[in-house]
Homo-oligomer: A and B are copies of this chain.
């Protein structure tokens, strides 16, 4: 390991002070626009600072104030585009207020997560944002123990209240999961559907539970078919969507519409429908939740409940600024509204129900191995 070059020293507050023959503290006050400084002095200082191209050292300020003007974001992975939209919204709000955004992914690994929190604390981040990350009791305690504002996204504190952890210090920002599902069921019921299948997300996620409960209640409220067979468990990925769709569409009395708890699983459902020779939306209506980029593509055109990801990020940012400046330690929960975007995967219920081509369990495996995996890889 060699020697690291030392960056050149820039203009300091003392340089500015000397150039003007005033005290450093006065310069500091002027730069912070404190009323205590005489207008004339302030103007002179500001002008000189600009002329000398003075740049405050973030490190020096952080050392004395113990605030770094930065927030750390922890997310399970960078793969989910929705997470990045959230960061995008967050970053735009924070950047404007002079805060930096630090990111770290955990790959859903506890050790990595702990290390990330650790690294953030060491850097004196002013707050930590946790997106959709499952936290065990240790991680929760670690977060609570560092005494920083913490905002949880898409995961209600209730998740670990059952684990007897002190969740009350955390803020929460999420979307109206139940309301979104209710609106989807309304939409389908309005088209005449009375037998609607639902593929859930992973039920350890609070958001997935809310979506599932939202479905149950909506079906009840509208007096639709509440057959328990119409509810199958999934896990937010494409293959789970295929599995769930196969289960639902193989029922002797199959549903005329399927709600998937996210768009990816809706795509899996579309794929299965195609395999069974069912035309969407003529024979089967399909809806998702999230409105990912691909849902808008003409070839897909999925009706879905849009996750307000950017709004969520902005909301997190605004909440943080609020906490920074107003020091309101009373935790809040923000639930953002969801809108249904009607595209072309939903249609009125057909007069007669086509059962579709039957599909065996083996055929799923065969189909996946033939189409999902890359068949050949040529190295260029």
The answer to whether the Cβ of A28 comes within 8 Å of any Cβ in the partner chain is no
Question: B299 touching A339 by the CB < 8 A rule?
Answer: no
Alpha-carbon gap, A91 to B368, bound state (A): 32
Asked if residues A339 and B378 are in contact (CB atoms below 8 Å), the reply is yes
A153-161, A250-258, A321-329: which lies at the interface: A321-329
Q: Is the CB of B187 within 8 A of A378?
A: yes
A105-141 Cβ-contact flags toward B at 8 Å (1 or 0): 1000000000110110111100000000000000000
Q: Is the CB of B274 within 8 A of A371?
A: no
A50 interface residue per 8 A CB criterion: no
Interface 1/0 per residue, A17-32 and B, CB below 8 Å: 0000000000000000
Contact partner of A342 (CB less than 8 A), chosen from B59, B183, B378, is B378
Give the complex CA separation of A338 and B105 in angstroms.
26
Q: Are A88 and B95 touching (Cβ within 8 A)?
A: no
- Residue in contact with A95 in the complex, picked from B9, B91, B115, CB distance below 8 Å: B115
Whether the Cβ atoms of A372 and B105 lie closer than 8 Å is no
Known: A104-B101, A121-B55, A298-B371. A380 touches B179 (CB 8 A): yes
Contact digits for A269-302, partner B, Cβ 8 Å, 1 yes 0 no: 0110010000000000000000001101111010
Chain B min CB distance to A213 (Å): 15
Does the CB pair A343–B78 fall under 8 Å? no
Which of B6, B63, B79, B340 is in CB contact (< 8 Å) with A66?
B6
Taking the closest CB of chain B, its distance from the CB of A133, in whole angstroms, is 15
Give chain B residues whose Cβ lies under 8 Å from the Cβ of A204. none
Write the nearest CB–CB distance from A212 to chain B, whole angstroms.
17
Known A-B contacts A81-B79, A298-B371; the reply to A2 vs B380 at CB < 8 A is no
B340 contacts A380, C-beta separation under 8 Å: yes
* A296 neighbours in B (Cβ, 8 Å): 372, 374
Whether, in the assembled complex, A58 has its beta carbon less than 8 Å from a beta carbon of chain B, the answer is: yes
- Flag whether A164 is at the interface (Cβ < 8 A): no
Whether, in the assembled complex, A57 has its beta carbon less than 8 Å from a beta carbon of chain B, the answer is yes
A103 — which chain B residues lie within 8 A by C-beta?
Answer: 87, 91, 101-103
Any B CB within 8 A of the CB of A171: no
- In the assembled complex, the CB of A268 is this many whole angstroms from the nearest CB of chain B, namely 8
Residues 50-73 of chain A, each 1 if its beta carbon lies under 8 Å from chain B, else 0: 000001111110110111101000
Check if A361 is an interface residue, CB within 8 A of chain B: no
The interface residues of chain B lying within 8 Å CB-to-CB of A376 are: 341-342
Q: Which of B4, B70, B182 contacts A380 (CB 8 A)?
A: B182
Jot down 19 A-B pairs with beta carbons below 8 A, ordered by A.
A2-B327, A4-B67, A7-B148, A55-B122, A58-B62, A59-B59, A63-B63, A78-B85, A79-B81, A81-B81, A95-B115, A100-B102, A100-B119, A100-B123, A182-B380, A294-B294, A301-B372, A337-B380, A342-B375
